[in-house]
Amino acid sequence: MSEKKVNLAVAGATGAVGNQMIRCLEEADFPVRSVRFLASSRSVGRMLRFKGESIAVEELKEDSFKGMDIALFSAGGGTSEKYAPYAAKDGCVVVDNSSAWRMDPEVPLIVPEVNSHAIAQYKNKGIIANPNCSTIQMVVALEPIYKKFGIKRIVVSTYQAVSGTGKKAIDELFDQTRAMINFLDYESKVYPHPIAFNCLPHIDAFLENGYTKEEMKMANETRKILEDDTIGITATTVRVPVFYGHSESVNVETKAPVCAREVSALLEQAPGIKVVDDPKNNRYPLATDAAGQDLTLVGRIRDDDSIANGINMWIVADNIRKGAATNAVQIARVLVDEYL
């Protein structure tokens, strides 16, 4: 472990993920010399707590990163696209939670349990991308399977919490639920339809091919992280009325013969994973159990008898923690320990 201390900025510090980044930095006792919390001009004057101190939020500007070593960004794609290069120019390494840089061939896309070796590529542009929340938890569980059996094809359906959309969506689910059970009028502002008591097969914008951007992110990012363009991936992403924790039904077709028992044994040993798989006693991964902690929970591991080499799994993680903030802080930790 390094004794180094860094100057660290959080851009989007007042948002759902930014706030969790701050909590994760505290929990990890991250070696900071100083911190800087950045957001839009709307938040200037707000105070945020960090390690017992109150820190004033500053407006994110081109010169916010002078003297900073690392910046964790979670302020939307447009903000990252505009400001990450200013940070990099000032020698501050960006760990970006938006989708802006993920598929840039010069920017590494990192899940530390899976491809931490690729972090070295941050030197190309001074930027590291944090993958999409649904991708992160899936690849944590896929990597050990990929290494041992190879992967031919993945079919995934997601059940994603509203916190992935941000604070406004958390409020919308809460307000709509309260209104509906009291027979009051309600509005849908964040999503095109009511999210309370509903499932929306629509996350991010629709593309020409009929998939949503979220679905294509899962396919493209998984191939980039596993460094294998030959894997076939088809995704259906669904927003459900859950506050925290994404759940995923994942069907994997491997290259080599595989069985559920072997996969369970493999995942029991894998970093960042907790196998929760005792269906006889009603024990399987739940969003309510995943929320508030950092492990990816895997259960319902069973053979897919409809194909030669197939496995089904149910994968659940806290989308704001491992799906975003925790993963970013883990990347920053490797940066401090091994590169800066």
Positions in the binding site for ligand A2P (CB under 6 A): 12-16, 18, 39-40, 42-43, 60, 75-76, 79, 166-168
Nearest distance, CB of residue 142 and ligand A2P, angstroms? 27
Q: Nearer to ligand A2P by C-beta: 16 or 250?
A: 16
Least separation in angstroms between residue 217's CB and ligand A2P is: 16
Whole-number minimum distance, CB 181 to ligand A2P, in Å? 25
Choose between 43 and 327: whose C-beta lies nearer to ligand A2P.
43
State in angstroms the smallest separation of the CB of 68 from ligand A2P: 15
Quick one: 13 or 70, whose CB is closer to ligand A2P?
13
The whole-angstrom separation of Cα 121 and Cα 308 is 38
Whether residue 133 lies in the annotated active site = yes
- In angstroms, what is the minimal distance from the CB of 73 to ligand A2P? 9
Whether 259 is catalytic: no
Q: Which of 24, 92, 117, 133 is catalytic?
A: 133
By beta-carbon proximity to ligand A2P, the closer residue of 97 and 176 is 97
Give the pairing type, strands 273-275 and 296-303. parallel
Three-class DSSP labels, the chain: CCCCCEEEEEECCCCHHHHHHHHHHHHCCCCEEEEEEEECHHHCCCEEEECCEEEECEECCCCCCCCCCEEEECCCHHHHHHHHHHHHHCCCEEEECCCCCCCCCCCCECCHHHHHHHHHHHHHHCEEECCCHHHHHHHHHHHHHHHHHCEEEEEEEEEECHHHHCHHHHHHHHHHHHHHHCCCCCCCCCCCCCCCCCCECCCCCECCCCCEHHHHHHHHHHHHHHCCCCCEEEEEEEECCCCCCEEEEEEEEECCCCCHHHHHHHHHCCCCEEECCEHHHCECCCHHHHCCCCCEEEEEEEECCCCCCEEEEEEEECCCHHHHHHHHHHHHHHHHHHHC
Which token pair is 51? 């390690």
Catalytic residue, chosen from 193, 202, 246, 259, is 246
Choose between 85 and 150: whose C-beta lies nearer to ligand A2P: 85
Using Cβ positions, the residue closest to ligand A2P within the complex turns out to be: 15
Q: What's the rounded Cα separation, in Å, for the pair 68 and 104?
A: 24
Q: Which is nearer to ligand A2P, 14 or 160 (CB)?
A: 14
Q: Report in angstroms how near the CB of residue 213 gets to ligand A2P at its nearest.
A: 16
| Residues designated as active site | 133, 246
